[in-house]
């Protein structure tokens, strides 16, 4: 196994898996195009084959040199952005940091921006390690107000309203308030 680490094997497996999945999916749109010889699959398949080859090249590099940085790489960090985990709790904390924004994004369609955002801001601060309740509440209020003033009142930006009651009703209430404010001016 030489200088190879488990993480190197995971990396190569990841890239080969991506290439294999996308290559198999490419059969779903493997239709000829009358005016173009290589069709819709030609370009992506070349990319997928190159990904497979580059992944194997990366494996070869790891086997030979371990995690050493290749000489002459411009702009590459000698120490990538890594933090050493010491316990399962560290992994859970990072997973939580990554999951919250994704959950917020997925919930935007049913819940909407106006209702979901204050909860998201508070949860982000909690996940980031902030424990002062007053700090969280005040900053949530401040950030939410700034966003509403800038995007709703000044820029008139259309933001997701949600499609499930009572969240949709809350968005409708906010927009009604905005209309009344506009009428006052």
Partner 1 sequence: MLDNFLTGTATLFGDPFTIGIFIFGVIGGMLFGAIPGVSMLTLAAILLPFTADLSPSQGVMLFAVIYCTGTYGGAITAILFNIPGAPENAPTAFDGYPMTQKGMAGKAVGAAVLCSAVGGIASAIVMMSATEPLAQWAIMNIGPPEIFALVFFGLAVASSVGGRTIWKGWLSVLFGLLIATIGQDPVGGINRFNFGFSDLAAGIAFVPAILGFFAVSEIFVQAEKKVSGNYSAPKFSVDFPTFFELWSHKIAVVRSILVGFFCGILPGIGATLAAFMGYGEAVRWSKNKSEFGKGKLEGVISSETANNAATGAAMIPLLALGLPGGALTAMMVAVFQMHDLEPGPLVFYNSPDLIWVVFAGMFYANLSILFIGLLETKTILYLLKIPFQFLAPMILMLASIGAYISRGLVLDVIVMFAAGVIGFLLRRSGYSIPGIVLGLILGKIGEQNFAQGMQMVHYDLGTYFSRPICTILVIAGALTLLKSLHSAFFAKQVNS
**Stretch near partner 1 under the rule CB under 8 A, chosen from 21-29, 165-173, 175-183:** 21-29
Based on its alpha-carbon atoms, the radius of gyration of the chain, rounded to whole angstroms, reads 25
Cα–Cα dist 64/82, whole Å: 22
Does the footprint of partner 1 cover residue 115 (CB under 8 A)? no
Residue 90 CA to residue 138 CA, distance in Å, equals: 28
**Residues numbered 66-95 forming contacts with partner 1, rule: CB under 8 A:** 67-83, 85, 90, 93-94
Check binding of 134 to partner 1 (CB under 8 A): no
> For residue 27, which of 17, 39, 36 has the smallest C-alpha distance?
39
For the bound state, the minimum distance from the C-beta of residue 1 to partner 1, rounded and expressed in Å, comes to: 18
Specify the residue, 85 or 181, whose C-beta has the smaller distance to partner 1. Answer: 85
Task: Give the residue ranges of DSSP H helices in 112-159.
Answer: 113-127, 133-147
Check binding of 16 to partner 1 (CB under 8 A). Answer: no
Among 6, 31, 165, 180, binds partner 1 (CB under 8 A): 31
> Residue 12 or 180: which CB sits closer to partner 1?
12
Concatenated DSSP letters of 88-124: HHHHHHHHHHHHHHHHHHHHHHHH-HHHHHHHHHHHH
Contacting range for partner 1; rule: CB under 8 A; set: 45-53, 166-174, 175-183: 45-53
Q: Taking CB under 8 A as the rule, does residue 130 contact partner 1?
A: yes
């Amino acid at each position: 196994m030489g200088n190879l680490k488990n993480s190197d094997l995971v990396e190569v497996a990841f890239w080969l898996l991506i290439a294999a999945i996308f290559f198999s999916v490419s059969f779903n749109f493997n239709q000829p195009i009358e005016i173009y010889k290589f069709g819709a699959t030609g370009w992506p398949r070349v990319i997928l084959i190159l990904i497979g080859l580059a992944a194997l090249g990366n494996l070869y590099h790891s086997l030979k040199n371990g995690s050493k940085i290749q000489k002459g790489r411009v702009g590459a960090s000698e120490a990538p952005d890594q933090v050493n985990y010491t316990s399962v709790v560290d992994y859970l904390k990072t997973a939580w940091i990554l999951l919250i924004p994704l959950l917020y994004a997925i919930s935007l369609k049913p819940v909407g921006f106006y209702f979901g955002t204050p909860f998201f801001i508070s949860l982000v601060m909690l996940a980031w390690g902030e424990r002062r309740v007053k700090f969280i509440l005040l900053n949530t209020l401040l950030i939410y107000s700034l966003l509403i003033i800038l995007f709703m009142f000044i820029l008139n930006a259309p933001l997701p309203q949600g499609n499930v009651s009572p969240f949709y009703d809350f968005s409708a209430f906010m927009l009604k308030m905005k209309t009344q404010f506009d009428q006052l001016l």
